[in-house]
């Protein structure tokens, strides 16, 4: 006979936090949102932690290199989507790793013979307006000059002009020696000469690095930015259980920091095989998350298979119709509570802490707080990030209001069959996701700051200054339908109704 769960399946909107005692120390500026990303033994430090508990979803409409850079600046991690060619995904990872380290390897390079039209096409592709002109067009070729938008005037040129005719030539550039110049020295030169970028060359005039003024400013304005030992942004990437033998080495070569198996359902032998292959062939230093699961058994299975973090959530995503199509899934809150209980049990038994990620179904900012209070170490968000400037999708104006496009990986548009494949015929047989619009919301930085301000404030109401304290101290209640009505404004006539 089938197993019946004793509790109905609940989601975040059905719960509230009841405030606890807060001391005078409980002020938002004292709250630390640092959280582990990958598993660690009791007493050890995890190899990767995040400064805020947010990751962006492994989706075409959400996580490209632009999103990854913006989120890492705020302290979180993007997982670059895997439903693209290995080459394209690795190139995105590489762009994030090259973006900034103080010393950046040049990734927009041209030859002296490159035409203005080709330069404009490259600018559109990379978004980088500063291009190094090297003899062979390679990042480490002999530096002959620099082209920036100040060097050309599109309206007065035909587009066929070659870079060598309008670039700022090497003998007019301020540059520095790559071997002896430190980052503070480079920044001093930038300020002294009012430069936007300082090239660093070796004794043979070969380009080694570039140092950008804006990176210096970023450093000052992004105190939580998430960087590796070489001061490069940390970035993740999604993989699947089919082409990992080729995809994983390409992503590692591009410098990826962490991987995550992207699958709609993770309690499967495919995930075990994938995890074992990666750890056997590339070593335990390569960190791989797995999922998605929705109960204790699923967690235990992936923990024993070697997952470095475990992702929770089936059918709760805003664009997801899996529950309607297949009758599979579980309310996101119930799933998180069950899995986190098992995570704690596993930690007690083995001394190994495996972080849990709550993936999908976050509608309001307070849902993030609930997921964290219920035990999630961090969140994965799709709809939330898709609304921002930095997401890859188009911004569209409909009836005077701006929207961004947002589509599921299981939609016909994404056709990510690998995410849903159970050993079938290598195609998406039916849709599990929709193609939609979401209201455009502006910049990632502004929105993330508002959401985190709310989280910090509510944590103080619960008397918690860290996420571990929140998990311990949180007092959570289910709410009745009428008390949900009570929670919004009610029994008043909003002034905006009269001003229409
Ligand atoms: P949300 O933040 O938009 O509510 O949910 C994002 C999550 O939905 C993703 O991280 C992924 O786990 C899941 N997802 C992505 N595509 C689909 C689909 O097409 C989906 N069904 O369910």
Residue in 54, 388, 409 to alter for ligand 1 test, most ligand atoms within 8 A of Cβ: 409
Task: Considering the candidates 247, 330, 383, 419, report the single residue annotated as catalytic.
Answer: 419
Whether 247 is a known active-site residue: answer no
Instruction: Give the mean pLDDT of 249-256.
Output: 98
Q: Checking phi first, is residue 43 left (phi over 0); if not, alpha (psi -120 to 50) or beta? A: left
Residue 101, pLDDT above cutoff 60:
no
Structure tokens at 408: 């599921």
Q: In sequence order, which ranges of 283-351 are alpha helices (DSSP H)?
A: 296-305, 322-326, 332-350
Global pTM reads: 0.83
**Closest residue by CA, ligand 1 atom 10:** 57
DSSP H or E run through 455? helix 444-461
Q: Which residues line ligand 1 (CB under 6 A)?
A: 57, 59, 313, 317-320, 322, 359-362, 380-384, 408-411, 432-433
Tens of pLDDT, residue by residue over 259-294, are 999 999 999 999 999 999 999 999 999 999 999 999
* Angle subtended at Cα 222 by Cα 220 and Cα 224, rounded to the nearest 5 degrees: 125
Give 75 Cα–ligand 1 centroid separation in angstroms. 22
Instruction: Give the mean pLDDT of 235-261.
Output: 97
Judge contact between 394 and 217, C-beta under 8 A. Answer: no
Q: Bridge-partner residues for 404, per DSSP?
A: 395, 438
How does residue 428 score in pLDDT terms, banded at 50, 70 and 90? confident
Q: Report the candidate in 131, 96, 126, 105 with the shortest Cα–Cα distance to residue 207.
A: 105
The position carrying tokens 């059918």 is 315
Residue in 54, 55, 57, 313 to alter for ligand 1 test, most ligand atoms within 8 A of Cβ: 57
Task: Considering the candidates 260, 320, 340, 462, report the single residue annotated as catalytic.
Answer: 320
Tens of pLDDT, residue by residue over 366-375, are 999 999 999 9
Q: Would you call 69 exposed, middle or buried from its count of C-beta atoms within 10 A (0-12, 13-18, 19+)?
A: buried
Atom of ligand 1 nearest to the CA of 408: 19
* Residue 239 DSSP one-character state: E
Highest mean pLDDT among 85-99, 105-119, 134-148, 334-348: 334-348
Q: Report the candidate in 192, 288, 300 with the shortest Cα–Cα distance to residue 240.
A: 288
Tens of pLDDT, residue by residue over 150-207, are 999 999 999 999 999 999 999 999 999 988 887 778 889 999 999 999 999 999 999 9
The predicted structure's pLDDT at residue 317: 96
Contacts of 144 (CB under 8 A, 6+ apart): 112, 133, 134, 135, 164, 167, 169, 170
Instruction: Give the mean pLDDT of 373-393.
Output: 97
Whether 419 is a known active-site residue: answer yes
Give 408 Cα–ligand 1 centroid separation in angstroms. 6
Q: Report the candidate in 247, 232, 327 with the shortest Cα–Cα distance to residue 288.
A: 247
Within 10 Å of residue 463's Cβ, how many Cβ atoms?
19
The predicted structure's pLDDT at residue 73: 93
User: How far is residue 88's CA from residue 93's CA, in Å, rounded to a whole number?
Assistant: 9
The predicted structure's pLDDT at residue 219: 60
Give 339 Cα–ligand 1 centroid separation in angstroms. 19
């Amino acid at each position: 006979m089938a197993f019946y769960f004793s509790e109905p399946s609940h989601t975040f909107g059905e719960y509230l936090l009841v405030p606890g005692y807060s001391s005078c120390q409980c002020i938002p500026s004292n709250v630390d949102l640092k959280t582990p990303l990958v598993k660690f033994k009791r007493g050890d430090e995890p190899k990767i932690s995040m400064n805020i508990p947010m990751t962006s979803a492994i989706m075409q409409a959400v996580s490209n290199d632009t999103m990854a850079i913006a989120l890492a600046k705020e302290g979180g991690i993007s997982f670059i989507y895997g439903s693209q060619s290995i080459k394209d995904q690795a190139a995105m990872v590489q762009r994030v790793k090259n973006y900034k380290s103080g010393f950046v390897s040049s990734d927009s390079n041209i030859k002296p013979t490159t035409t203005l039209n080709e330069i404009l096409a490259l600018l559109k592709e990379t978004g980088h307006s500063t291009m190094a002109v090297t003899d062979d067009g390679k990042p480490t070729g002999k530096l002959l000059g620099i082209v920036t938008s100040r060097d050309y005037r599109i309206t007065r040129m035909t587009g066929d002009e070659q870079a060598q005719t309008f670039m700022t030539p090497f003998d007019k550039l301020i540059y520095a020696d790559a071997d002896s110049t430190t980052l503070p020295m480079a920044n001093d030169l930038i300020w002294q000469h009012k430069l936007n970028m300082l090239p660093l060359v070796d004794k043979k005039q070969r380009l080694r690095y570039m140092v950008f003024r804006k990176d210096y400013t970023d450093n000052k304005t992004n105190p939580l930015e998430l960087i590796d030992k070489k001061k490069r942004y940390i970035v993740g990437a999604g993989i699947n259980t089919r082409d990992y033998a080729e995809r994983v080495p390409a992503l590692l070569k591009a410098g990826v920091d962490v991987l995550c198996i992207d699958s709609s359902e993770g309690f499967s032998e495919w995930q075990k095989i994938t995890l074992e292959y990666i750890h056997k062939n590339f070593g335990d230093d390569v960190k791989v998350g797995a999922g998605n699961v929705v109960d204790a058994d699923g967690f235990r299975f992936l923990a024993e298979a070697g997952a470095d973090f475990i992702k929770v959530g089936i059918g709760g995503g805003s664009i997801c119709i899996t529950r309607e199509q297949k009758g599979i899934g579980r309310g996101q809150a119930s799933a998180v509570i069950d899995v986190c209980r098992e995570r704690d049990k596993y930690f007690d038994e083995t001394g190994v802490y495996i972080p849990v990620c709550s993936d999908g179904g976050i509608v309001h900012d307070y849902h993030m707080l609930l997921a964290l209070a219920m035990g999630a170490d961090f969140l994965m968000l799709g709809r939330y990030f898709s609304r921002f400037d930095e997401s890859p999708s188009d911004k569209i104006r409909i009836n005077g209001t701006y929207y961004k496009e947002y589509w599921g990986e299981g939609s016909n548009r994404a056709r990510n069959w690998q995410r849903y494949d159970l050993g079938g015929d290598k195609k998406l047989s039916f849709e599990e996701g929709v193609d939609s619009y979401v209201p455009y919301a502006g910049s990632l930085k502004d929105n993330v700051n508002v959401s985190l301000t709310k989280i910090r404030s509510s944590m103080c109401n619960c008397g918690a200054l860290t996420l571990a304290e929140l998990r311990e101290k949180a007092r959570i209640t289910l709410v009745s339908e009428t008390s949900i009505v009570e929670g919004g404004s009610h029994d008043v006539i909003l002034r905006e109704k009269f001003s229409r």
